[in-house]
Chain A
Amino acid sequence: MGFLDVLLGRTKPVQPKLDDLFALPSAAIQLQAATGFTPTGSGSVCFRAVEGKTFADIQKEVRELLDLDNSKPGGGGLPVEVTKDSYGFTWLISNHMSDEVDTLVTDLHAVNSALVDNGFGPQLLCTMVAFADENHRRMALVYLYKRGTFYPFAPVNEGRQQRDNALELQVKGVLSEDLKIEPELNRWMALWGAPGL
């Protein structure tokens, strides 16, 4: 924020950075090679819905668009899910086969651009792609739209809200060349109860 903005008490809504998301498919391969974590095929976009009909209409359009794509031959065939978490944020969940990270990212990007095109870019919070390993450990790579950075989130015990910090830091080390990892650890926001994880 500039000096003038401070003086006049206004904030410019932060526009999301979308492009870095496309680094994800290659990072997924690297992650699998180094740690054994494979994509589950589930990914989601989390945003703060704006009250009123305009936003609801856009959200509906996006959903129909994705469903249409997926029902075509060669599409994933699974419909898009929409849930609202306990914080009032909306999650649009897209499910694909585990080897279709490319398609998944394209789907997620479609949601992003629909919101940005309609002037709701600042409402985007994060996107999450889920991973799991042979021991059924779960982990997610979270993309922060406003920062253009990724961070790993590995919940161990939802009820007691524990994270596997060792695993998270290991993933950070493995992916630091493929992805822009969020350097400030206190921005590695916990996403308890995130759908699709």
Chain B
Amino acid sequence: MATRTRYAPDRGLTVRMTVTMFLLGLVFVAFVAAIIGALIAAHQSAAFIVVIALVFGGGSAFISLFYSDKIALAAAGAREVSPQEMPKLHGIVDRLCALADMDKPRVALAPTSMPNAFATGRNSKNSVLCVTEGLLNSRLGLSDEELEGVLAHELSHVAHKDVQVMTIASLLAIVAGLLVRFAFYSEIFGGGRRNNNQNALPIIAIIMVVSVVVYAISFLLIRVLSRYRELAADRSGALLTGQPSALASALTKVSNGMSGIPTQDLRTAEPMNAFYFAPAMKLQRGGGRGEGGSSLSAIFSTHPSLEKRIEQLAKIQAQLNDVSPGAKGLK
């Protein structure tokens, strides 16, 4: 039995995200091909570097994924809170999880004055949802519905397995970055010992150049992917609560609340930017809104602009209020 639905998927977003992932995969294949090509003519020293980079890169990615909840909580200085300590917060999460039919994540509180929230964890059973004290602070003036919107956004990240997807997507950049470093050191320190291997140096140089290019491209693609996944989480969060406007107004408040916080505090939170509700650090825009500056910062940003996010939520609002859903007619 087909039922009416008001929750049509966003084709455009799906297509854009697929293209980004395809490009990322393409870069990956090209990268592997280039490395294998270099290794065919290769020498143990070059092969050794690649293997070490793969082991280190893969290992660190696996560890950061496996312990992502603990690492993130430690980095944010957060601690878990029980339902007795914060009944309201737990109550909202309880209801959202029942509505979405998902496992309830642990709930944590970070003693930061910057209003923000993040969710992380390797799977739904081990995930943790963390909010900062600044988010709950009455000075920010977030209403319960707005707070619910923020939490629904974070729960959507958990449901979409964004930590896993982004870790795998970043794997390539990590390995490429390590290769650059290892190749660089082996040129410096290993050069003297390889007099009998005249080919070794150019091959290592090639690997290094390829890795730099791959690193740069995949870095940009990961940022693009991150922005699309933020939009996807906004979308799912708004559909879950049925209150897109509350989420939009929460976004506005959190973004405004963040601009007044000292830079020192923001920088320390920067490494975990990708999992935050709103970006913790904005790229410096010289003076006013320089046109060149703002487009550059848009490319490097992990989050879409506030305007874009609010625009999407307005569309969802219209969709939810469509009087005749599924006009194609069926029930």
Residues of A within 8 A of B240 (CB): 11, 13, 122
State the interface size on chain B (CB cutoff 8 A).
56
The answer to the question of A82 belonging to the interface, with a C-beta cut-off of 8 Å to chain B, is no
Give which listed residue, A117, A122, A126, A161, contacts B7 with CB less than 8 A.
Answer: A122
1/0 contact string of B121-149 vs chain A (CB within 8 Å): 00000000000000000000000110010
Give which listed residue, B95, B235, B321, contacts A52 with CB less than 8 A.
Answer: B321
Stretch at the interface among B50-58, B241-249, B277-285: B241-249
B86 to chain A, nearest CB (A): 12
Q: Please give me the residue from chain A that is nearest to B162 by CB atom.
A: A9
Bound-complex Cα distance A86 to B91 (A): 10
The answer to the question of A167 belonging to the interface, with a C-beta cut-off of 8 Å to chain B, is no
Residues of A within 8 A of B14 (CB): 8, 10
B99 touches A55 (CB 8 A): no
Assuming the contacts A48-B99, A55-B242, asked whether A88 and B144 have C-beta atoms less than 8 A apart, the reply is: yes
Bound-complex Cα distance A49 to B241 (A): 8
State the main secondary structure of chain A at its contact with B.
loop
Q: How large is the interface on A (under 10, 10 to 19, 20 to 34, 35 or more residues)?
A: 35 or more
Stretch at the interface among A32-40, A73-81, A128-136, A184-192: A184-192
Bound-complex Cα distance A15 to B232 (A): 20
The answer to the question of B4 belonging to the interface, with a C-beta cut-off of 8 Å to chain A, is yes
Give which listed residue, A51, A87, A120, A190, contacts B6 with CB less than 8 A.
Answer: A120
Give which listed residue, B4, B160, B228, B244, contacts A51 with CB less than 8 A.
Answer: B244
Give which listed residue, B95, B235, B321, contacts A125 with CB less than 8 A.
Answer: B95
Interface centre among B5, B229, B232, B246 (most CB of A within 10 A): B5
A168 to chain B, nearest CB (A): 16
A contact residues vs B (CB 8 Å cutoff): 1, 5-15, 48-55, 86-89, 116-123, 125-126, 144, 146-147, 161, 186-187, 189-190, 192
B contact residues vs A (CB 8 Å cutoff): 3-7, 9-10, 14, 17-18, 21, 83-84, 87, 91-92, 94-95, 97-101, 104, 144-145, 148, 156, 159-162, 164-165, 228-229, 232-233, 235-236, 239-246, 317, 320-323, 325-326, 331
A-B contacts, 12 listed (Cβ < 8 Å)? A1-B159, A9-B160, A9-B228, A10-B14, A11-B100, A11-B156, A11-B160, A14-B100, A117-B4, A119-B325, A119-B326, A125-B99
